[in-house]
Chains A and B, each alone.
Chain A
Amino acid sequence: NAGVMQNPRHLVRRRGQEARLRCSPMKGHSHVYWYRQLPEEGLKFMVYLQKENIIDESGMPKERFSAEFPKEGPSILRIQQVVRGDSAAYFCASSAQGALGGNTEAFFGQGTRLTVV
């Protein structure tokens, strides 16, 4: 399966712990996006990355959240000192071209469901 791979599918963390979510884009895709979906809500943009660069992090909370897409390996979304409000589904998507000018599709992974207890 050459699709977008996210792991883990489910993650349970206690308040104050760190959550680390991984995303491997589709083969040949160098553009990665992270979205968050809170219960009963839509998809909210968090961050857009290319290899080794954060291009747009306008949707990411300024504190406790960080993302990276290293030269080798998957993209990582890191949430430090998690709180109950971080409980959500986190989706990663990748595209062959950037979304700067349109005419491109994003393909999503299955998501990581984070539960903070």
Chain B
Amino acid sequence: DQQVKQNSPSLSVQEGRISILNCDYTNSMFDYFLWYKKYPAEGPTFLISISSIKDKNEDGRFTVFLNKSAKHLSLHIVPSQPGDSAVYFCAAPRFNKFYFGSGTKLNVKP
């Protein structure tokens, strides 16, 4: 039962352009969301979060948008840099665990 979904397994973007990574969820009890970035052979690192009382949270080049009615969130990276190439996971903590999406592999081309 996949309660957090990332339907795009991969995304390729030119350096300097915007990267938009999407995430959908099914459980309306989720009220906090996280994005993680993962390089190969490393653990996921926490990137940015958003509470359901907000619809936007910004941290430098990273902005997360939340649309509660659509049960959808997105991570925007502007401008994208080659070092942003990684797998990005969205997650929601609830019921004693963190529910993760399957990840989107971002490739930023120089």
Chain A interface (Cβ within 8 Å of chain B)? 4, 6, 33, 35, 41-43, 45, 48, 55-56, 59, 91, 93, 95, 98-111, 113
Q: A104 is contacted by which of B32, B45, B95 (Cβ under 8 Å)? A: B32
Q: Which residues does chain B contribute within 8 Å of A103, judged by CB atoms?
A: 31-32, 51, 93
Name A101's closest neighbour in chain B (CB-CB): B94
Name A109's closest neighbour in chain B (CB-CB): B43
A99 B93 Cβ-Cβ under 8 A: yes
* B72-110 near A? 1/0 per residue, CB < 8 Å: 000000000000000001011111111111110000000
Q: Which residues does chain A contribute within 8 Å of B102, judged by CB atoms?
A: 41-42
CB distance from A59 to the nearest CB of B (A): 8
Q: Which residues does chain A contribute within 8 Å of B94, judged by CB atoms?
A: 99-102
Interface size on B, residues (CB 8 A): 27
User: Which residues in chain B, 3-53, are within 8 Å of chain A measured between CB atoms?
Assistant: 30-32, 34, 36, 41-46, 49, 51
Chain B interface (Cβ within 8 Å of chain A)? 30-32, 34, 36, 41-46, 49, 51, 89, 91-103
B96 A98 Cβ-Cβ under 8 A: yes
Q: Which residues does chain B contribute within 8 Å of A6, judged by CB atoms?
A: 43
Q: Which residues does chain A contribute within 8 Å of B36, judged by CB atoms?
A: 108
B95 A99 Cβ-Cβ under 8 A: yes
Name A47's closest neighbour in chain B (CB-CB): B97
Name B103's closest neighbour in chain A (CB-CB): A42
A59 to B95, CA, bound (A): 13
Q: A108-B45, A110-B43 are in contact. Are A102 and B93 (CB under 8 A)?
A: yes
Q: Which residues does chain B contribute within 8 Å of A98, judged by CB atoms?
A: 96
CB distance from A36 to the nearest CB of B (A): 11
A-B residue pairs in contact (CB < 8 Å), sample of 13? A45-B99, A48-B96, A93-B98, A95-B93, A99-B95, A99-B98, A100-B96, A103-B31, A104-B32, A104-B93, A105-B34, A106-B91, A108-B45
